């Protein structure tokens, strides 16, 4: 599923089952060539719900970065910045394209095949 993203990390640490459920992150590591600190990543594959691509999330996540998997790329957003936007604007539904334009911190990486 997201092994091509994990292959871009060094110092990989997988979340335990408890951490996945309670802390809402999947893997920790350093994104090679992009970040110099170890981050916890919440990796999400977008699914179709009511004819709209999406994925449920929570602002209670302990992840540092939220990673969305698209067909040909990975979109990485800062979790703290995203959570603040969701809380301040009381958003229930998010448009990923608009988020990329409105958030200060994001990285878009092509998928490695």
Residues 91 and 78 sit within 8 Å (Cβ to Cβ): no
For residue range 5-48, list pLDDT tens digits in order: 999 999 999 999 999 999 999 999 999 999 999 999 999 777 66
Q: What is the pLDDT of residues 56-97, one digit of tens each?
A: 677 778 999 999 888 889 999 999 999 999 889 888 877 888
The backbone torsions φ and ψ at residue 97, rounded to the nearest 5 degrees and listed phi first, read -60, -40
**Does residue 74 or residue 52 have the better pLDDT?**
74
The Cα–Cα gap between 17 and 67 comes to 19
CB 102 within 8 A of CB 77: no
Dihedral sign computed on CA atoms, order 100, 57, 44, 83: positive
- The number of residues in the chain equals 113
Q: What is the pTM of this model?
A: 0.86
């Amino acid at each position: 599923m997201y092994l091509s993203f994990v292959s871009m990390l060094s110092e990989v640490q997988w979340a335990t089952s408890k951490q996945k459920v309670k802390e809402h992150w999947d893997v920790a590591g350093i994104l090679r060539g992009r970040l110099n600190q170890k981050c916890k990543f919440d990796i999400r594959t977008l699914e179709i719900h009511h004819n709209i691509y999406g994925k449920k999330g929570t602002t209670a996540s302990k992840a540092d970065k939220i990673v969305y998997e698209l067909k040909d790329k990975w979109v990485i957003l800062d979790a703290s910045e995203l959570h603040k936007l969701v809380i301040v604007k009381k958003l229930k539904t998010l448009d990923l394209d608009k988020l990329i334009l409105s958030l200060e911190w994001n990285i878009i990486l092509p998928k490695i095949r």
